[in-house]
């Protein structure tokens, strides 16, 4: 994380003003391992939350100084209502969601726009070997939706869009029922 500021500054010096910064990194981790191995849990939290906070802080500072630019932050529906099956990953995404929401508010009027993307299950390398969940997307579908949302200067986007009302309803479920929900 100590090199994030230098990296972004170097990119801007070599290539000129940065138009779009996309934060699309993370790890799912192994929930069962994380419950017994604090270092593994911290590795997931560091990658999926702390490192992203670092990049976002440095990138937003650089874009503010330019007076323009877009930040695309990939959170996840897993952070909207954290569940037993992946609470380490989900809690990191919940933290990222909150940080990005506050950062977006702080950028208002600066010329810098933040798009918070909340995909559901994405069929890709991170989920390789897993059975796709209902309403799954491919990386190409996610990219198409994000590009369209950037063009509209949307504040957030759910992928697919049908997940937004689904998760609105899921947030209303009592804990005893939520606990029994399958993946």
Q: Which residues are catalytic?
A: 89
- 3 state SS for 46-93: HHHHHHHHHHHHHHHHHHHHHCCEEEEEECCHHHCCCCHHHHHHHHHH
The answer for residues whose C-beta is within 8 angstroms of residue 80's C-beta and 6 or more apart is 94, 97, 118, 167, 170, 171
> Is the Cα dihedral 8, 14, 15, 17 positive or negative?
positive
Strand partners, 153: none
Can you tell me the distance from the alpha carbon of 22 to that of 95, in angstroms, rounded to the nearest whole number?
A: 18
> Among residues 73, 163, 75, which one has the least CA distance to residue 115?
73
């Amino acid at each position: 994380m100590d090199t994030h500021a230098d990296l972004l500054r170097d990119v801007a010096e070599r290539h000129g003003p940065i138009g779009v910064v996309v934060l699309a990194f993370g790890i799912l981790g192994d929930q069962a391992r994380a419950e017994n191995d604090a270092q593994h849990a911290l590795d997931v939290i560091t990658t999926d939350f702390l490192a992203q906070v670092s990049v976002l802080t440095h990138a937003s500072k650089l874009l503010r100084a330019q007076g323009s630019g877009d930040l695309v932050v990939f959170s996840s529906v897993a952070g909207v209502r954290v569940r037993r099956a992946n609470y380490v990953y989900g809690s990191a995404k919940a933290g990222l969601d909150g940080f990005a929401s506050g950062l977006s508010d702080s950028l208002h009027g600066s010329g810098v726009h933040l798009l918070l993307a909340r995909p559901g299950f994405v069929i890709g390398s991170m989920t390789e070997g897993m059975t796709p969940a209902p309403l799954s997307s491919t990386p190409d579908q996610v990219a198409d939706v994000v590009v369209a949302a950037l063009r509209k200067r949307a504040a957030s986007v759910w992928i697919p869009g049908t997940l937004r009302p689904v998760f609105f309803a899921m947030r209303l479920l009592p804990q005893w029922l939520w606990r029994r929900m399958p993946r």
